[in-house]
């Protein structure tokens, strides 16, 4: 097994391993270390069954069920979230920078997307941004200020981007989380606001909240030092840490199909505020 960094601070490709086969303890420990170090791991040329996809996901924790699947009457497996973009679609999932489902009280810890069909025009890359570094580059005074703030994450805000409006009696998660959280496994601070789900900061006028959040979002979008760009190939699995990174799906392939299946892994607890003293 070989681990090749994509950039110095985020992303790595792992070759020489077949995820359809059970992992040895040595291989699993190497992958776990690489995940903590690089936050995004790419595994190309993997022919995975759904059960093998699930088995690999369960090495990181219990499988999380997307809120849209929890009460839906469907024959589809609720442990999979399908990324099925058809040639006549006008947009795709995740075009806005985000972390997955942060509107839940206990958002997922990790995501594993297995793409089997890529657009024939070569499009459909995914950008990832390192939220440890996004926090670390802030001034000490701004770090301290944001460390005392809470933000509201609203699932309906994200739904509205896709033209979805809830009907009377329907519910979609919404919760407040600290703006700076501690990573549940590494203990590092994470900037935990994102453009898709975070609607406002609590206990301040909306115009002040917008000034702060829009400034942070602009920095996340525009600072290439935070980023890596992953180009998908058929039968490729990408694993990312839903605490330490945000991502954006690039929709530059209208007229072409893209298909994949995503599993998310539950977090061990609700997001906790980071304390420098800890």
98 annotated active-site: yes
Alpha helices, H only, the chain? 25-38, 50-58, 131-136, 140-146, 155-161, 206-222
pLDDT category of residue 74 using cuts at 50, 70 and 90: low
100 annotated active-site: yes
How far apart, in whole angstroms, are the C-alpha atoms of residue 256 and residue 151?
A: 37
How far apart, in whole angstroms, are the C-alpha atoms of residue 127 and residue 229?
A: 5
What's the chain's average pLDDT?
Answer: 95
Question: Which domains, ranges and CATH numbers included, belong to the chain?
Answer: 2-265 (3.60.130.10)
Q: Which of 268, 266, 237 is nearest to 126 (CA)?
A: 237
pLDDT at 73 over 80: no
Q: Please pick, among 38, 53, 66, 100, the residue that the annotation labels catalytic.
A: 100
**Residues 138-163 as b or e (16 or more Cβ within 10 Å = b):** beeeebeebbebebbbbbbbbeeeee
Residue of 170 and 132 predicted with greater confidence: 132
Q: What pLDDT, on the 0 to 100 scale, is given for residue 161?
A: 87
pLDDT at 250 over 90: yes
177 annotated active-site: no
pLDDT at 72 over 70: no
How far apart, in whole angstroms, are the C-alpha atoms of residue 224 and residue 208?
A: 26
pLDDT at 277 over 80: no
200 annotated active-site: no
Q: Please pick, among 38, 153, 183, 247, the residue that the annotation labels catalytic.
A: 247
Using left for φ > 0, alpha for ψ between -120 and 50, and beta otherwise, residue 188 falls in: beta
Q: Please pick, among 39, 98, 153, 200, the residue that the annotation labels catalytic.
A: 98
pLDDT tens-digit readout, 106-119? 999 999 999 999 99
pLDDT tens-digit readout, 171-218? 889 999 999 999 999 999 999 999 999 999 999 999 999 999 999 999
Q: What pLDDT, on the 0 to 100 scale, is given for residue 269?
A: 94
pLDDT tens-digit readout, 121-166? 999 999 999 999 999 999 999 999 999 999 999 999 999 988 888 8
Which range, of 27-36, 45-54, 71-80, averages the lowest pLDDT? 71-80
């Amino acid at each position: 097994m070989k681990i090749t960094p994509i950039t110095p601070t985020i992303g790595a490709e792992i070759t020489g391993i077949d995820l359809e086969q059970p992992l040895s303890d040595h291989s699993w420990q190497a992958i776990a270390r690489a995940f903590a170090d690089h936050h995004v791991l790419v595994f190309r040329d993997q022919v995975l069954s759904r059960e093998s996809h699930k088995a690999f996901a369960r090495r990181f924790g219990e499988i999380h069920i997307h809120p849209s699947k929890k009460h839906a009457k469907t024959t589809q497996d609720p442990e999979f979230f399908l990324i099925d973009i058809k040639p006549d679609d006008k947009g795709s999932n995740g075009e806005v920078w985000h972390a997955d489902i942060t509107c839940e009280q206990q958002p997922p810890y990790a995501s594993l997307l297995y793409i089997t069909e890529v657009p024939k025009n070569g499009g459909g890359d995914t950008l990832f941004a390192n939220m440890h570094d996004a926090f670390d580059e802030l001034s000490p005074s701004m770090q301290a200020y944001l460390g005392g703030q809470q933000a509201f994450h609203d699932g309906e805000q994200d739904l509205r981007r896709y033209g979805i409006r809830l009907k009377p009696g329907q519910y979609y998660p919404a919760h407040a989380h600290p703006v700076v959280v501690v990573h549940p496994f590494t203990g590092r601070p994470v900037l935990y606001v994102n453009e898709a789900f975070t609607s406002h900061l609590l206990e301040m006028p909306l115009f002040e909240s917008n000034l702060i959040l829009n400034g942070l979002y602009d920095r996340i979008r525009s600072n290439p030092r935070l980023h890596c760009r992953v180009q998908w190939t058929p039968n490729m699995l990408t694993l990312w840490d839903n605490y330490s990174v945000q991502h954006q799906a690039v929709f530059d392939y209208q007229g072409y199909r893209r298909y994949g299946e995503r599993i998310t892994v539950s977090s061990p607890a609700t997001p906790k505020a980071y304390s420098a003293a800890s």
